Chain A
Amino acid sequence: MSSDGLYRILPLEGGLNIYSASENMGLLLHALAPETELELDLSALDEIDCAGLQLLIMAKHEAQRIGCDLRLTNHSPAVIEAFELSGLASFFGDPILIKPTSE
């Protein structure tokens, strides 16, 4: 399903949490492939907990291991808050675009 130099975007939606962890783990592992670029679009993630964070960590580790270029983009407010609370923002190292609060 994947070939060299492929660039794909995987949007994650809804909740990335303990309830959906197993399902999403399969999804992520399936999307990761050597010699490809994978972008996880987090804009539609409106809930994330530590189980979700762990999955992202796992994806990052696994991507490094097999040589996939993994990027996290369009962090939703929920993701930004979780990254800040957990101190994981620097671990992922992706640029986080902080939008001005819409008020």
Chain B
Amino acid sequence: MDMDEVLKVFIAESQELLQQMEEALLMLEHAPGDSDTINAIFRAAHTIKGSAGLFGLDAIVAFTHIAESVLDRVRSGELRFDAELTALFLQVRDHLGELVRLVDEGIDLSSLPAEVQPLHTQLGDCLSRYLPSTDSQSQLRATERIERGHEHGLSADHWHISLRFGPDTLRNGMDPLGLFRYLNTFGRIVSLVPVLDRMPAAAEMDPETCYLGFEVAFYSDADKATIDGAFEFVREDSLIRILPPHSKSDQYLELIRALPEEDMRLGEILMRCGTLTATELQEVLHTQVQSQQRAETRPIGQVLMEESLVQPPVIAAALQKQQQIKDNRNNENNLIRVDASKLDRLIDLVGELIIAGAGAQMTAQRCGHSEMQEATEVLSRLVEEVRDSALPLRMVQIGATFNRFQRVVRDVSREISKDIALSISGGETELDKTVVERITDPLTHLVRNAMDHGIEPADKRMANAKPAQGRVWLNAFHDAGSIVIEVGDDGGGLDPQRILAKARERGMLNEGQQLAEKDVFNLIFEPGFSTAEQVSNLSGRGVGMDVVKRNITALRGTIDLDSKLGQGTTVRIRLPLTLAIIDGFLVNVGQASYVIPLELVEECIELNSDEPFERGHLELRGQMLPVVRLRELFEDDSPRPRRESVVVVHQAGLRAGLVVDQLLGEFQTVIKPLSKVFSACPGLGGFTILGDGTVALILDIPSLLGQLTRVSEAPQRARIEA
């Protein structure tokens, strides 16, 4: 209903369409001349133009119009998508994206801001070069078509548009009058007859429901797609029929039958519009029986083609459009667009609900009222279900983010003149929207790094018996409550010796300190390891890896790296599925409570106090398990209880035991971030509020595991001699 909201939809849709356009353009680089792809680009441009027109965004309309004209020439085979044109269209796409962004920022496009104006003009000029004296051409073709049709069709030289608006048209903020005004911008409404048959009696009328229909005679040189585009926003629930000038009587008959009103009455309306003469109307209604048989045996597209009323490409586009609309409609029935901030609000509320629920449950237990306890049990189970269904609402597939990198890889590989292909897998893996948004920058960094420093120049690759084309891949999958994203390349790999040498030189390692290979690689994530000058003489990678790591850590994720010299490198990012709420396992040490993410808990065992563990290890079913007392870790001075328990946690193949006083059981945990003051405290991932209002700290198990296993496992691993 609100114009602003419709505009938001326009912006979101345009962004999607531009994304599709980009994907299609990139596809064209591999399969030039593929008509499906070209049509997809055309459709995207066309829809943006049509919608922009509805909002009076003339700058976008005019610009897209030129682009569309060029695309039209490509479709008709007059032009080919060569590398140059593709590159130009990628720029056009970016520029359109910029214009849409400006609209989003509320900038009035009637006078373009100075920073985009030069490019706007320049691109417009470049595009115009592909058009031989633009307008005369398209007009010529329009007249040709009309003349050709004239021999076969009826006398009317205007388009006939039948509109029966859906009941929600007005509520959705669309005003049919606005559409007519828009039609008048590229043609002339010759005559228009309102159809009021659906108007109910006053008592039954809902003033906000639309009951109107119109029969419109419209004179225009525009093509079918343009006229069709005007109705983009009302198409969903409205009945819209558009007949080109000089259509066959069959088609008018078809129209008359498709509309809800009675045939004779419609015929009269068409006469009043000037679309049919009285004789023609009679002819149409007369041949009804005859044509019924024909219409049933032949698809309408074929009929149109045989009668040479519409050029084949137009039909192809129309059919495709129909299919697309059908697909869209299927999707739209199942999908709704929701403002992300509303979802965030919902998740916040669910979080509060969980805390409040825990409080209620605790109070119920304390007062010992059994019915009350039962009620809170049921309540908490429901709250849990609400949580489980609310969290996936924010999940989005990572594929869209991955696909964006096709463009990055294309552009960077040109820039550094290396032939590199990107392959993507696991795009359907879902993760939290906030995470997706914040992972894009680090991923871009990693992909660029892999291309720039990972992949060797072609001659060196050939010398090493590798294919000349380098390969970079993105992969994602779920693993034990987290999502793993891999950025890999088949490039030169990292040389541990050089990294070690560099680290020593930088004073990051003590003389004689020895590290496992994995830890050597992880050195490149350390701040201060990489500066610009080192990158140039270190044949691996380097720029700002510490920044990448910081970003990932801020998402409660971890990052590590595998590399084989001469074979390539894989960077693995492990992220929690959600940032908001987890199933936690509550434990107690002294006065303090701690939460361990439940999915990381493997088992709980009782600690036999007769058998004190030495040097931080415990024998568990024949295996050595690194173990630490939380009491010691957090320097809690309270006296040790008689009995203690060990919680065995695991992640990414690492296991460790945490010794605690008491196991309190499962607990739904709303994660609240710790303030910056605590950022120097390793091993803490956040805090949460318990039912009684006290605070429990959430343990950052991955970092604890890292600390524990590094100390304990390093001696057992292969050593690298410096």
Q: Do A18 and B208 touch across chains, with their CB atoms under 8 A apart?
A: yes
Stretch at the interface among A4-12, A35-43, A48-56: A48-56
Give how many B residues have a beta carbon under 8 Å from the other chain's beta carbons: 26
Q: Do B177 and A49 touch across chains, with their CB atoms under 8 A apart?
A: yes
Contact of A54 among B191, B193, B212, B214 (CB under 8 A): B212
- Given A58-B199, A58-B205, A61-B202, are A50 and B192 also a contact pair (CB < 8 Å)? no
Give how many A residues have a beta carbon under 8 Å from the other chain's beta carbons: 24
CB-defined contacts of A51 to chain B, threshold 8 Å: 170, 175, 207-208, 210
Q: Do A88 and B194 touch across chains, with their CB atoms under 8 A apart?
A: yes
Q: Pick the most buried of A21, A85, A86: most chain B CB atoms within 10 A of its CB.
A: A85
CB distance from A10 to the nearest CB of B (A): 16
Q: Do A50 and B176 touch across chains, with their CB atoms under 8 A apart?
A: yes
In the bound complex, what is the Cα–Cα distance between A50 and B207 (angstroms)? 10
Q: Do A24 and B207 touch across chains, with their CB atoms under 8 A apart?
A: yes
Q: Do A50 and B1 touch across chains, with their CB atoms under 8 A apart?
A: no
CB-defined contacts of A58 to chain B, threshold 8 Å: 199, 202, 205, 207
- Given A51-B170, A51-B208, A55-B207, are A86 and B175 also a contact pair (CB < 8 Å)? no
Contact of A86 among B1, B177, B211 (CB under 8 A): B177
Q: Does A57 contact B (CB under 8 A)?
A: yes
CB distance from A72 to the nearest CB of B (A): 16
CB distance from A95 to the nearest CB of B (A): 19
In the bound complex, what is the Cα–Cα distance between A2 and B514 (angstroms)? 102
CB distance from B85 to the nearest CB of A (A): 41
List B residues 189-205 near A (Cβ within 8 Å): 189, 191-194, 196, 199, 201-202, 205
In the bound complex, what is the Cα–Cα distance between A50 and B179 (angstroms)? 11
CB distance from B219 to the nearest CB of A (A): 15
Q: Does B101 contact A (CB under 8 A)?
A: no
Chain A facing B: main interface SS: helix
CB-defined contacts of A85 to chain B, threshold 8 Å: 177, 180-181, 189, 192
- Given A57-B196, A61-B202, A87-B193, are A50 and B208 also a contact pair (CB < 8 Å)? no
Q: 13 additional contacts, CB 8 Å, given A54-B211, A87-B192?
A: A18-B175, A22-B207, A49-B170, A49-B177, A50-B177, A54-B212, A58-B202, A62-B202, A86-B180, A86-B192, A87-B193, A87-B194, A91-B196
> 27 interchain pairs (CB within 8 A)?
A18-B1, A18-B170, A18-B175, A21-B208, A50-B170, A50-B177, A50-B210, A50-B212, A51-B170, A51-B175, A53-B177, A54-B210, A54-B211, A54-B212, A55-B207, A58-B199, A58-B202, A58-B205, A61-B199, A62-B201, A62-B202, A85-B181, A86-B180, A86-B192, A86-B214, A87-B192, A87-B214
- B residues within 8 Å of A by Cβ? 1, 165, 169-171, 175-177, 180-181, 189, 191-194, 196, 199, 201-202, 205, 207-208, 210-212, 214
